[in-house]
Structure 1
Amino acid sequence: MSQLQDNFGRRFHYLRMSVTDVCNFKCTYCLPDGYRPDGKPKFLDLNEIEHLVSAFSQVGTQKIRITGGEPSLRKDFTDIIRIVKDNDKINTIATTTNGYRLAKHAQEWYDAGLRRINISVDSLDPKMFYQITGENKFDDVMRGVDAALEAGFERVKINAVLLKGLNDKDLPRFLHWIKNTPIDLRFIELMETGLGHDYFKAHHLAGNDIKLQLEQAGWQFDTPAVDDGPAQNFSHQDYQGRIGLIMPYAKNFCASCNRLRVSAKGKLHLCLFTENGVDLRDLLQTPDQQAELIERLHGQLAQKKETHFLHDGITGVTQHLASIGG
């Protein structure tokens, strides 16, 4: 089966599969008013997820990240991990979580097949953490980080969205943390969404500013692996941890794009921004629909644009990142 490839020669090894858009945090850059359901949502069930994973595995997908919302809010989250694990063509199973349930379930998820985990920790100051997330859960999340390290995950990453005037003074504290802790710290440049124009103007901080500070301090750029995400990763001989920078406004950011997204309701998104998505759910009902589903995937890749249009202030239809898994 031929691999998914667009008209610009980019191949797609990596699927970000959302399983819910529900979240129990109220992060100021994503869901400042909390999750607001639109009617009674019906997210992909286990059979639909199995058919989706099967189709993508046949067209070159090697890595699947289970996302949300907060994916662990699904009672069958561990079963979802097992479904992905049971597909022998998927080499890497990852998830992104706010860490709310991590301390209790880290070992269970690892045993089910999860191997990489990203945990959102936007500040190491508990008061600032509360201000950004709307939840006084800093200690719970940090216990979750410890549990993930103890469970044996091959890669534990910490995600922190860069926010001018909020957590932009936290870099020394983060660096102190990873001096002797084997985690990957990732700073994510704030992206403008449909609901966040004023917030973006007030708090956007260019990731390149952090990059210059790192280079001046002796951090070295690491060559990316084929299934890596969009981060530019850096390491330092004096630190056990690494640092990654995700800079969507950097030149040629989209040139290395290798990931696609499917929303919790079964829509394929070729880009985090700019388009409404294409429904796949009608072809996720039975195994005998696989050929037609794969044909639809190939057809949609021909429509993928060369770049997003964030530089032009065009944020597309994405109202908040929780809606299609960030």
Structure 2
Amino acid sequence: MLRDRFGRSIEYLRLSVTDRCDLRCTYCMPTGFKDFEEPGDWLTFDEIERLLRAFARLGTRRVRLTGGEPLLRRHVTSLATRIAAIEGIDDLSMSTNATQLRRHAQALRLAGVKRLNVSLDSLDQACMRSITGRDSHAQVMDGIMAGKEAGFDPIKINMVAMRGVNDGEIDRMAEFCIKHGFVLRLIEVMPMGQTGRNSAYLDLQPVRARLQQRFDLVPQALELGGGPARYLATRDGRSNIGFITPLSQHFCATCNRVRLSVDGTLYMCLGQEEKFEFRPLLRGGASDAELEAAIREAIELKPQMHEFSARPEKIIRFMSQTGG
């Protein structure tokens, strides 16, 4: 089992398969941004599989496919099939904006993807257009329902809550998720890059108290996917509402994950700069033993906690460059 300097078990890898996206969410990627990684610098599927096998031998059990928008990577379902077959990896999931999900939902399910996280910041067409930069509402909603039809369970709806932007819709979003049996996850915006710092932060602690009272929610002790959310559940157990609060109540002490970007850079923390580049090793003839030693060396770089509150200006890279 991989453990960092602070005794945390690191068993969760978030794998970005592309930094491209067909949306431009205001907190994630700057309008007009074109400085994407060149395809020649992307890890190939063979390189990804080899590196993930090394992670799995060291105890990694969970992998989430992310982006950008992962469904923009050609043949990503074949990659999912390869990852799902790796011995030791027993939880393969995907984060998506759902614009392409209608076309891929069934194939992803057959490939071995077990769960979906869908970014949905608003149920209002105009508000969604303002946040995402395009009229994506109908396409996203259709994609979510395609995921439900394909049998994905749970489907987690990720809503980045922003003061004065979509905070008036939180109760409506909760009602929508409860109705359909989805898991709502409310997320505090993180000051990653200028895009994140320009977004209006909303403290979710008062929101949590309000929703708990309105919907008669009870604390949820069950583990739901290994991520950082703290959950409340409806009394009938049909739905859950999670709160991801990196600023108002951080979860650094229990952080169990690292992020691998499309170019093979492993980031240890969203709110710090520590990283390790694996592409040179993969393309330079490194042995399996050398890869495993490099992974252990990289995990030793993982910091104790982020500095989003103390130094919000520190992180220049924005979310889509790191991976979701």
Category of TM-score, reference length = shorter chain: over 0.9
* Gaps in structure 2 of 5+ consecutive residues: none
Report what 1:210 is aligned to. Answer: 207
Deviations 1:84-125, CA, capped at 9 Å, x for gaps: 111131111111111111011100111111111111110011
Report what 1:241 is aligned to. Answer: 239
Return the alpha-carbon distance in structure 2 between the equivalents of residues 210 and 54 of structure 1: 41
Q: How does 1:1-326 map to 2 (within 5 A)?
A: 3-38=1-36, 40-41=38-39, 42-196=41-195, 199-200=198-199, 203-217=200-214, 218-225=216-223, 228-238=226-236, 240-275=238-273, 277-285=275-283, 289-326=287-324
What's the C-alpha RMSD, in Å, of the aligned pairs?
1.9
Paired residues of 1:116 and 1:156 also in contact (CA < 8 A): yes
Paired residues of 2:97 and 2:140 also in contact (CA < 8 A): yes
Paired residues of 1:82 and 1:112 also in contact (CA < 8 A): yes
* Greater CA drift, 4-13 or 174-183: 174-183
Return the alpha-carbon distance in structure 2 between the equivalents of residues 29 and 94 of structure 1: 23
* Greater CA drift, 122-131 or 233-242: 233-242
* Gaps in structure 1 of 5+ consecutive residues: none
Q: CA deviation at 1:40?
A: 2.9
User: Percent sequence identity over matched residues?
Assistant: 35
Return the alpha-carbon distance in structure 1 between the equivalents of residues 258 and 70 of structure 2: 18
User: Which amino acid is 1:125 matched to?
Assistant: D
Q: CA deviation at 1:308?
A: 0.5
Return the alpha-carbon distance in structure 2 between the equivalents of residues 198 and 114 of structure 1: 33
- Name the TM-score, length of structure 2 as normaliser: 0.94
Q: CA deviation at 1:38?
A: 4.3
Return the alpha-carbon distance in structure 2 between the equivalents of residues 72 and 239 of structure 1: 31
Q: CA deviation at 1:286?
A: 8.4
Q: CA deviation at 1:126?
A: 1.0
Q: CA deviation at 1:294?
A: 1.1
User: Which amino acid is 1:216 matched to?
Assistant: Q
- Name the TM-score, length of structure 1 as normaliser: 0.93
Ranges of 4+ aligned residues in structure 1 off by more than 6 Å: none
Paired residues of 1:24 and 1:34 also in contact (CA < 8 A): no
Give SS of 1:37's match.
Answer: coil
Deviations 1:281-320, CA, capped at 9 Å, x for gaps: 1232489622111111112222221110111024534421
Q: CA deviation at 1:205?
A: 0.2
Return the alpha-carbon distance in structure 2 between the equivalents of residues 170 and 134 of structure 1: 19
User: Which amino acid is 2:30 matched to?
Assistant: P
Paired residues of 1:178 and 1:239 also in contact (CA < 8 A): no
Return the alpha-carbon distance in structure 1 between the equivalents of residues 107 and 167 of structure 2: 35
